[in-house]
C-alpha cells in the first residue's frame, strides 16, 4: 500500500521505536502545521486505514504493524532503492521510496523478494556456474571511473542492529558481471548463479528453495 511521507510519519508516531531504518522521514508542512496534520489524517481516513483521528480501522492495523515489525527487526538489507527488514517465519517487510516523497510498504515472503529482484534485473535469471576469477585489488577512484559507464548496477548494504557489516556492488558490462567489495576494495568477476546464491544468503531463504539458484 502506498503512503505519503507525512502518512508514514503518522504511522511512525503510533508505533514502538523512533527511527525507521534507512528512511529519513520528516514532517514537512507546506502550509500551516495544523492544516497539514488535518490533511494527513483526512488522507488516511479516505484510504480506509483510519476510522477517526485516534482510531485505526482493521485495514489500518496491517500497515501500522508492518512498520513496527520493520523497526523491530535486527537485520536489514538495502538493495538499491529496496529497504528490507527480515522477519521470522520466512517473511520480510519491504519499503520502497517512490517519487514525490511517497512510499510503498509490503509484507512479503522472503522468496517473493527474491523473485522481485530477479524480475527487476533479468540478467540474473540465467547463467551457469563458472570458475571464479582471481581477486583483484582496485582502489575506489579506479572503481568509480569504471562503474560510471555502466547503465545498471546493484548496490547492497547488509546491516545488523543498525550497523553496516558489509557493503558491495554488482555491475555488468560486455556481458560480464563484476562484484566490488567496498570495504576491502576488492573486485572479482562472478556469474548470475553466484549472485543469486548471495541473494539467497542475504534473505536467509531455506534449503528447499536453494535449488532455484
What does the pLDDT read at residue 55? 93
Is the distance from CB of 138 to CB of 147 less than 8 angstroms?
no
- Together in a domain, 146 and 49: no
User: 80, 102, 117: which is the final residue of a domain?
Assistant: 117
pTM for the full model? Answer: 0.88
Does 105 share its domain with 11? yes
Same domain, 49 and 111: yes
Say whether both 10 and 76 belong to one domain: yes
Q: Does 11 share its domain with 110? A: yes
pLDDT (tens digit per residue) in 122-139: 888 876 555 555 678 888
Assess whether pLDDT exceeds 90 at residue 32: no
Percent of the chain whose pLDDT exceeds 70: 92
State the burial class of residue 18 (Cβ atoms within 10 Å of its Cβ: 0-12, 13-18, 19+): exposed
DSSP secondary structure of 152-170 = -EEEEEEEETTEEEEEEEE
Query: Which domain covers residue 197, as residue numbers?
Result: 121-212
Q: Which of 117, 142, 162 delimits the end of a domain?
A: 117
Judgement on whether residues 47 and 83 belong to the same structural domain of the protein? yes
Least confident of 20-34, 74-88, 116-130: 116-130
Question: Cα–Cα distance between 108 and 205 in angstroms, integer?
Answer: 13
| Total domains, the chain | 2
Q: For 160-207, how does the pLDDT look when each residue is reduced to its tens digit (9 = 90+)?
A: 999 999 999 999 888 889 999 999 999 999 999 999 999 999 999 975
Q: Are residues 145 and 58 in the same domain?
A: no
For the chain, helix (H) and strand (E) counts, in that order, are 6, 12
Q: Are 144 and 50 in the same domain?
A: no
Residue 208 scores a pLDDT above 50: no
What is the model's pLDDT at position 13? 92
Based on the fold, state whether residues 28 and 76 are members of the same structural domain. yes
**Cα gap 73→53, rounded to integer Å:** 28
For residues 92-120, average pLDDT = 94
In this prediction, residue 158 carries a pLDDT of 97
> Domain boundary at 67, 99, 117, which?
117
Do 12 and 106 share a domain, yes or no?
yes
107 with 129, same domain?
A: no
User: What value does the mean pLDDT of the chain take?
Assistant: 89
Same domain, 130 and 192: yes
Amino acid at each position: 500500500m502506498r503512503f505519503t511521507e507525512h502518512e508514514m510519519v503518522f504511522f511512525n508516531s503510533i508505533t514502538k521505536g523512533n527511527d525507521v531504518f534507512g528512511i529519513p522521514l520528516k514532517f514537512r508542512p507546506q502550509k500551516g502545521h495544523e492544516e497539514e496534520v488535518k490533511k494527513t489524517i483526512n488522507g488516511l481516513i479516505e484510504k480506509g486505514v483510519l476510522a477517526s483521528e485516534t482510531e485505526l480501522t482493521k485495514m489500518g492495523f496491517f500497515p501500522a504493524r508492518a512498520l513496527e515489525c520493520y523497526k523491530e527487526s535486527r537485520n536489514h538489507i538495502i538493495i538499491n532503492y529496496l529497504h528490507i527488514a527480515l522477519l521470522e517465519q520466512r517473511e520480510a517487510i519491504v519499503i520502497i521510496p517512490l517519487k514525490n516523497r511517497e512510499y510503498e510498504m509490503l509484507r512479503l515472503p522472503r522468496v517473493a523478494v527474491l523473485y522481485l529482484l530477479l524480475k527487476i534485473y533479468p540478467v540474473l535469471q540465467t547463467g551457469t556456474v563458472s570458475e571464479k576469477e582471481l581477486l583483484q585489488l582496485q582502489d575506489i577512484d579506479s572503481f568509480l571511473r569504471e562503474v560510471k559507464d555502466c547503465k545498471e548496477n546493484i548496490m547492497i548494504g547488509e546491516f545488523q542492529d543498525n550497523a553496516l557489516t558489509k557493503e558491495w556492488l554488482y555491475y555488468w558490462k560486455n556481458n560480464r558481471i563484476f562484484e566490488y567489495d567496498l570495504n576491502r576494495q576488492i573486485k572479482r568477476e562472478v556469474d548470475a548463479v553466484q549472485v543469486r546464491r548471495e541473494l539467497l544468503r542475504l534473505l536467509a531463504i531455506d534449503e528447499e528453495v536453494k535449488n532455484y539458484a
